Amino acid sequence: MPTRRLLVATIAVLAAIGVPRAQADAAETASAFVDNLLRDLAEVINTDRPRTDKQAALEKLVDASVDVEEVARFCLGRYWRMATPEQRREYIAIFRQVLLTSVTGKIGDYRGVSYTIGRTAPRDDSVDVLTILNRPGSAPNKVDWIVRTANGSPKIIDFVAEGVSLRMTQRSDYASYIERNNNNVQALIDALRRQANSPQG
């Protein structure tokens, strides 16, 4: 019995030590990931390369750094279950296109951008990485990058600017649009396609 008590106590101690260590490792990984991502983004935006080259480079960064499918599913909310397999595939493809157009369309707005990495805040399945973005002529912007690691690969699953969550905002907007269109998921897909194909992006 004493041996059993000792074993249980040892496991408890190791668990108490292991959880914070795992959280610390996750926080360090997420912070380094965001640091590398922002450094690459700043390098692309601040370079004198042609705009088309910058757009291609940004698209590669988004595809490599953002869990587009996870974000897309979250934004569709409960309507994901209502969508057909074909609608899901179509929606994710259009969502990616809209996201890329939005990111690449703001290249000029962030010319001269710099950043600082702040604290990290581990959650149950992700890590918040606080950053401050600085643009010439603009007040500093507080941005939280929500990072989740799956299969050893960290990915961005949300972007919180001055307390406003990108995916929560999109989820609310999408739900409102679908509700106004008789709960028709295809109506949202068609609207996103028009947005993606519009000259303004």
Q: Report the C-alpha gap between 66 and 39 in whole angstroms.
A: 16
Q: What are the φ and ψ backbone dihedral angles of 157, each rounded to 5 degrees?
A: -120, -5
**Range among 12-21, 52-61, 191-200 with highest mean pLDDT value:** 52-61
Q: What is the mean pLDDT of residues 197-201?
A: 62
Q: Is the pLDDT of residue 11 over 80?
A: no
Mean pLDDT value of segment 28-44: 93
pLDDT of residue 179: 97
Of 15 and 151, the one with more pLDDT: 151
> Can you give the pLDDT at residue 107?
76
Architecture per CATH, 2-197:
Roll (3.10)
Rg (alpha carbons) of the chain, rounded to whole number: 21
Average pLDDT value for residue range 14-28: 62
The reported pLDDT for the residue numbered 2 is 53
Q: What is the mean pLDDT of residues 179-197?
A: 95
CB atoms within 10 A of CB 185: 20
Percent of the chain surpassing pLDDT 70: 87
User: Residue 21 pLDDT more than 70?
Assistant: no
User: How confident is the model over 61-118, as pLDDT tens digits?
Assistant: 999 999 999 999 999 999 999 999 999 999 999 999 999 988 888 777 778 888 999 9
Residue pLDDT, tens place only, 125-152: 899 999 999 888 888 999 999 999 887 7
pLDDT, the chain, mean: 86
CA 13 to chain centroid: 35
Residue 1: pLDDT over 80: no
**Non-local CB neighbours of 130 within 8 Å, separated by 6+ positions:** 117, 118, 119, 120, 121, 142, 143, 144
Q: How confident is the model at residue 178 (pLDDT cuts 50, 70, 90)?
A: very high
